Amino acid sequence: MQIITSLIRYLRLYSLLLFLIPLIALLGSLLLLNHLQTFNSYYYPLGTTEAKTYECTYENKYCENIYQRIKFHECSKYVIRQGYIFNGILIDQFTPWSESVDEKYLKLIEERKTINYAVSSPNYDQIDYHCIKNSLFYPIYEKFPPAEKLFFKIKEKTFFGTSQAVYPFLYGETSISNIVKRYPASYLFKPLLYLSSLLMVVYWINYKRIFSKIEKTNNEKKIEFFLIFGILSSFFLFLHVLFLGTDIDSSIFQKFRRLNIALFIFFELTAQFFLAKRIFVLKEMLLDYTYKVFIYLKITFVAAILLITTVALSILFFLDPGQTFNNILEWNYFCFLLIFYLLSALMWRKNKKE
Give residue-wise pLDDT tens across range 167-188.
999 999 999 999 999 999 999 9
- Determine phi and psi for 52, rounding to 5 degrees: -150, 165
Cβ 53 vs Cβ 115: under 8 Å: no
For residues 185-205, one letter each, b for 16 or more C-beta atoms within 10 angstroms of the residue's C-beta and e for the rest, the string is bbebbbebbeebbebbbbbbb
Q: What is the pTM of this model?
A: 0.84
Count up the domains in the chain and report the number: 2
Residue 14 domain-assigned (yes or no): yes
Which of these ranges, 44-58, 90-104, 194-208, has the smallest mean pLDDT? 90-104
Residue 160 domain-assigned (yes or no): no
State residue 302's pLDDT score: 92
Question: Looking at the structure, do residues 248 and 298 belong to the same domain, yes or no?
Answer: yes
Question: Looking at the structure, do residues 319 and 189 belong to the same domain, yes or no?
Answer: yes
Higher pLDDT, 84 or 277: 277
Question: Looking at the structure, do residues 208 and 339 belong to the same domain, yes or no?
Answer: yes
State residue 99's pLDDT score: 44
In this model, does residue 8 exceed pLDDT 80? yes
Residue 117 domain-assigned (yes or no): yes
In this model, does residue 101 exceed pLDDT 50? no
Residue 243 domain-assigned (yes or no): yes
Question: Looking at the structure, do residues 6 and 76 belong to the same domain, yes or no?
Answer: no
Other beta carbons within 10 angstroms of residue 27's beta carbon come to: 13
Domain's final residue, options 127, 150, 182: 127
> From CA 354, how far away is CA 351, in angstroms rounded?
9
Domain's final residue, options 93, 127, 161: 127
Question: Looking at the structure, do residues 102 and 20 belong to the same domain, yes or no?
Answer: no
Which structural domain, as residue segments, surrounds residue 181? 2-35+169-347
Question: Looking at the structure, do residues 216 and 337 belong to the same domain, yes or no?
Answer: yes
Question: Looking at the structure, do residues 75 and 20 belong to the same domain, yes or no?
Answer: no
State residue 191's pLDDT score: 96
The confidence band for 1, taking pLDDT boundaries of 50, 70 and 90, is low
Question: Looking at the structure, do residues 79 and 19 belong to the same domain, yes or no?
Answer: no
Other beta carbons within 10 angstroms of residue 149's beta carbon come to: 10
Q: pLDDT over 90 for what percent of the chain? A: 46
Average pLDDT, the chain: 84
pLDDT digits (tens, 9 = 90+) for 143-165: 888 898 899 999 989 888 888 89
The arithmetic mean of pLDDT across residues 104-119, rounded, is 61
Other beta carbons within 10 angstroms of residue 182's beta carbon come to: 19
Question: Looking at the structure, do residues 223 and 104 belong to the same domain, yes or no?
Answer: no
Question: Looking at the structure, do residues 265 and 322 belong to the same domain, yes or no?
Answer: yes
| SS3 sequence of 55-73 | EECCCCCHHHHCEEECCHH
The arithmetic mean of pLDDT across residues 27-31, rounded, is 95
Higher pLDDT, 231 or 256: 231
Residue 67 domain-assigned (yes or no): yes
pLDDT digits (tens, 9 = 90+) for 292-337: 899 999 999 999 999 999 999 898 888 888 899 999 999 999 999 9
The confidence band for 97, taking pLDDT boundaries of 50, 70 and 90, is very low
Question: Looking at the structure, do residues 229 and 298 belong to the same domain, yes or no?
Answer: yes
Question: Looking at the structure, do residues 251 and 185 belong to the same domain, yes or no?
Answer: yes
Higher pLDDT, 58 or 25: 25
In this model, does residue 354 exceed pLDDT 60? no
Tell me which DSSP letter residue 184 carries. Answer: T
Other beta carbons within 10 angstroms of residue 339's beta carbon come to: 15
Residue 92 domain-assigned (yes or no): yes
Residue 298 domain-assigned (yes or no): yes
Which helix (H) or strand (E) is 268 found in, with range? helix 251-281
Residue 208 domain-assigned (yes or no): yes
Domain's final residue, options 127, 144, 159: 127
State residue 247's pLDDT score: 75
State residue 206's pLDDT score: 94
